[in-house]
Structure 1
């Protein structure tokens, strides 16, 4: 099914006789069993006001179309959407509804926040076929429940997005990255934590193959000053990478392209930055070969290893964060097991928004 508008989407869900597997552009695969419900027909920019930094578009609008439109006004989506097709073995094209449903957020999250922080409003159809609207076109909107944040990252299990309103951002005049290679993971992560504690508005902090990467963006003079201060306050063998070369470095971090040609399991871990090495250390102690890439100053860990080590990963992570398996088959569940209180809350939300349990069964709720 591929509804052409919100009314058709509502009718398709209302009259569904069984489970529906909701799909945007197909870049992250299809959840669970059931008839495929594609949102690509719900496309088109409904409103774009560059001077107000506001964009409203159908959920099926292609991300590439949105980025091209914004680039024409020297603007961008602040949350730097990852493209994980190469590491997940997917094809398709990314849509803004899929981005919002996954809360897909890249390296700039340490400065600008996640996708959900840029979402001003949503329209969606719940599991009963009811059209729901929440939020608006400005940030100061505090009426009622914040369903905008609820829908961000809900992966289509509570409702199918039909329209998304977003705050956009002006493109900076300059970008540069401080790169220090050969530090080793522990030293590089310590450098990132130190840098993020300084008042220099860092927009990226990653550890890749034992190297520390720190990105600064803004007016050219400000970028030069902040780079100088960071180098002065954090001794390291720094190289300055500017312009497109800097952009390419962060594209590789954003898309975890280091893992593109690998097979086996791929894990996404949210951790306490001060304990970013706990899981890799446990894998080393167990003799389990792996590769790691840290983003968000150590708070996000991408981990590539052979299948079958989920129990080891989760045991090492216990009480420190949570892990999601994005690729690979094994007995460990893909999502982090939740506390009974959280399970009850999720079940309550599912019952309220999808009483028949037909939207993406087997997903987060």
Structure 2
């Protein structure tokens, strides 16, 4: 285990980074450490965690704005929001259970640093779309601020959104400001059993094409459905395709019946009420049906229309299970343990069908041997290297985590 530095304030963070920069010492950046196993292993003798930088620094429910220090647990944020009938609309996923850790420990800074979004992203947008502003310290040990408390506050390069998805390789976030939205009054879910992958994608895409405000669409293969702990679905041996509706109770009742009529060709769905829906989508959010059982886990972003054929192309080379989110725009692949995590076959399928793939779970030796994040095309590589040079010219922050030479 590396020596761990634990700044409690932004000035402590700046001072620690200045000492590291002066000596040219690389550092691994952590929040709660729940996603430490994602990416290439970081070759750094020191780790720095923002876990002590906690607390909600601003919350204006009427303005739908919150600011929090980067190390504030996401669970604390969501409890505070729920008490005021509000939520994070992008529904951040929790990788903890899939990586062998606990659920509910990730920090709000890490959520934005990794740009983590859940099932509602297809309707509401990504995490970065709700990030209004950030404070942080870069690799030069400089404190910086970007953005503010409203959406239209940026001229030039949007630094806040540029940092989202950088996985701690450009800066250490100390505070984030973000937009929130009201919680829906009611939730209902239609679950269609026993559809093939291509029919499921057809159903999900058709539901999103209707004017009924569908806020989530997922499809689980039979083996994954059998792993559900959900009280009403546990032990299910068929594939499951779920469609979520959220709004006022009266509105949901009307839209649910209209949607069932339009989708009647796909069979009669099971119906989940509010409590059952919350439990089901909670499992989807935690990916708890992907336990760390010696397999590898890939996250593939593609076009829904080609998702089933992409999965079929990989399946020709290995046994796998697939979970489709965003109507197939996001596919999680559980592949057997191997020396390269099936990297050649996954990336070949992605190159043929379009999209990009990230290896989320694999042994450290595998993550050292293969490209974990999607290889960059030359134009994007130049931009990425330019950003790295501007924010972290000595390559001190999470060196090699995303790409071996950065």
- Pick the TM interval, shorter chain: over 0.9
* Residues 29 and 90, structure 1, Cα contact 8 Å, conserved in 2: no
Corresponding residue number in structure 1 for 2:361: 327
Root mean square deviation, CA, Å: 1.4
> Residue 144 and residue 261 in structure 1: after superposition, are their counterparts in 2 closer, same or farther (change >3 A)?
closer
Deviation at 1:118, TM superposition (A): 1.1
Tell me, in whole angstroms, the C-alpha distance in 2 between the residues paired with 1:325 and 1:284: 17
Corresponding residue number in structure 1 for 2:28: 21
Deviation at 1:172, TM superposition (A): 0.8
Q: Does residue 312 of structure 1 match 2:312?
A: no
- Give the SS at the match of 1:349: helix
- Give the SS at the match of 2:217: strand
Corresponding residue number in structure 2 for 1:66: 77
Where does structure 1 lack aligned partners over 5 or more consecutive residues? none
- TM-score, normalised to structure 2, is 0.87
Q: Does residue 194 of structure 1 match 2:227?
A: no
Superposition pairs of residues 292-307 of structure 1, within 5 angstroms: 292-306=322-336, 307=338
Corresponding residue number in structure 2 for 1:32: 42
Corresponding residue number in structure 2 for 1:351: 389
Corresponding residue number in structure 2 for 1:337: 375
Deviation at 1:283, TM superposition (A): 2.8
* Residues 99 and 292, structure 2, Cα contact 8 Å, conserved in 1: no
Corresponding residue number in structure 1 for 2:12: 8
Where does structure 2 lack aligned partners over 5 or more consecutive residues? 222-238
Superposition pairs of residues 208-247 of structure 1, within 5 angstroms: 208-209=220-221, 210-235=239-264, 236=266, 237-247=268-278
Tell me, in whole angstroms, the C-alpha distance in 2 between the residues paired with 1:338 and 1:240: 43
Cα deviation 1:132-156 (Å, max 9, x = unaligned)? 1111111221333201110111111
Aligned residues: 364
Deviation at 1:88, TM superposition (A): 0.8
Deviation at 1:360, TM superposition (A): 0.3
Deviation at 1:207, TM superposition (A): 0.8
Runs of 4+ displaced beyond 4 Å: none
Corresponding residue number in structure 1 for 2:125: 113
* Residues 253 and 295, structure 1, Cα contact 8 Å, conserved in 2: no
Superposition pairs of residues 125-140 of structure 1, within 5 angstroms: 125-140=137-152
Q: Does residue 43 of structure 1 match 2:74?
A: no
Tell me, in whole angstroms, the C-alpha distance in 2 between the residues paired with 1:50 and 1:243: 24
Tell me, in whole angstroms, the C-alpha distance in 2 between the residues paired with 1:192 and 1:243: 20
Q: Does residue 276 of structure 1 match 2:310?
A: no
Corresponding residue number in structure 1 for 2:320: 290
* Residues 173 and 218, structure 1, Cα contact 8 Å, conserved in 2: yes
Tell me, in whole angstroms, the C-alpha distance in 1 between the residues paired with 2:315 and 2:297: 17
Tell me, in whole angstroms, the C-alpha distance in 1 between the residues paired with 2:165 and 2:60: 26
Of the three residues 154, 158, 163, the one matched with 2:166 is 154
Of the three residues 95, 102, 105, the one matched with 1:84 is 95
Deviation at 1:228, TM superposition (A): 1.2
Tell me, in whole angstroms, the C-alpha distance in 2 between the residues paired with 1:224 and 1:248: 20
* Residues 87 and 262, structure 1, Cα contact 8 Å, conserved in 2: no
Deviation at 1:91, TM superposition (A): 4.5
Corresponding residue number in structure 1 for 2:224: none
Cα deviation 1:45-97 (Å, max 9, x = unaligned)? 11111111110110011111111111111111111121221111134821100
